[in-house]
């Protein structure tokens, strides 16, 4: 009864294809995954989503909802700074 | 009869607030503007959209459709590379 299947990929500093692979493995088992990133990794999250969408056009994965937001992070000097975030949904089309 | 009012802000290397100001000027005259960026500027486009959404919460501007795509660009060595793009709509809510 565990519904805690991991369905979110957080983008960091690994090579792009590592995240593409993780996402494709998730998508083999789940109807959708979310790709999340913040700050400087936002562009890389878009790259990952685009690679998946292009490579799996025949498999029928498409880009769903895209949300942007910002988070207050405390920096090392104790001040809070706002950091932008992105959340890109990739889903099986039609199902 | 000119409908060619400029309603797209392309994000480049200027300071973020330059784009925020441009967008707010457009929004004073138009119901919506689109903020576009590609490659490394994608994160900055999200920053600009978030600053506008936060600063104008009372004025009623909200983030609308967000689209991501990729463009084939020819690099200096003559090869084509795919570059990710983002297009964030900011619109007057309710009108």
Are A54 and A46 spatial neighbours (Cβ–Cβ below 8 Å)? no
What parts of chain A have a pLDDT lower than 70?
Answer: 1-6, 94-95
Model confidence pLDDT, tens digit, residues B16-32: 999 999 999 898 889 89
The pLDDT assigned to B21 comes to: 93
Are the beta carbons of A42 and B39 separated by less than 8 Å?
A: no
List of chain B residues with pLDDT < 50: 1-4, 95
pLDDT of res. B44: 96
The nearest CA of chain B is from the CA of A35 a distance in Å of 13
pLDDT in tens, A39-63: 999 999 999 999 998 887 777 889 9
Residues of chain A contacting B, Cβ within 8 Å: 39-43, 46-47, 49-50, 54, 63, 66-70, 82, 84-86, 88
* Predicted pLDDT of residue A2: 43
Q: Distance between terminal CA atoms of chain B?
A: 22
Residues in chain A closer than 8 A to B67 (CB atoms)? 66
- Choices 3.40.50.970, 1.20.1290.10, 3.40.50.1000, 3.30.110.20: CATH for A8-92: 3.30.110.20
**Mutation for testing the B interface, residue in A71, A73, A82, A84 having most B CBs under 10 Å:** A84
Quick one: pLDDT at residue A1?
A: 41
Q: Produce one character per residue of B78-95: b if its CB has 16 or more CB atoms within 10 Å, e if not.
A: eeeeebbbbbbbbbeeee
ipTM of the complex: 0.81
- Per the CB < 8 A criterion, the answer to whether A49 and B67 are in contact is no
Verify whether the Cβ–Cβ distance A46 to B42 is below 8 Å. Answer: yes
Q: Whose CA is closest to A52, among B39, B40, B45, B70? A: B70
DSSP-H helix ranges across B1-95: 16-29, 42-55
Beta strands in A3-79 (DSSP E): 8-10, 32-38, 61-74
Percent of chain A scored above 90 by pLDDT? 57
């Amino acid at each position: 009864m565990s519904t805690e299947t991991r369905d979110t990929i957080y983008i960091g500093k690994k090579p792009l294809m590592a995240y593409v692979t993780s996402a494709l493995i998730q998508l083999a088992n789940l109807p959708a995954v979310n790709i999340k990133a913040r700050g400087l990794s936002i562009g890389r999250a878009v790259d990952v989503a685009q690679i998946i969408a292009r490579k799996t056009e025949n498999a029928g994965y498409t880009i769903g909802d895209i949300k942007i937001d910002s988070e207050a992070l405390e920096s090392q000097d104790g001040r809070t700074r706002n950091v932008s975030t992105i959340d890109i949904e990739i889903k099986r089309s039609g199902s």
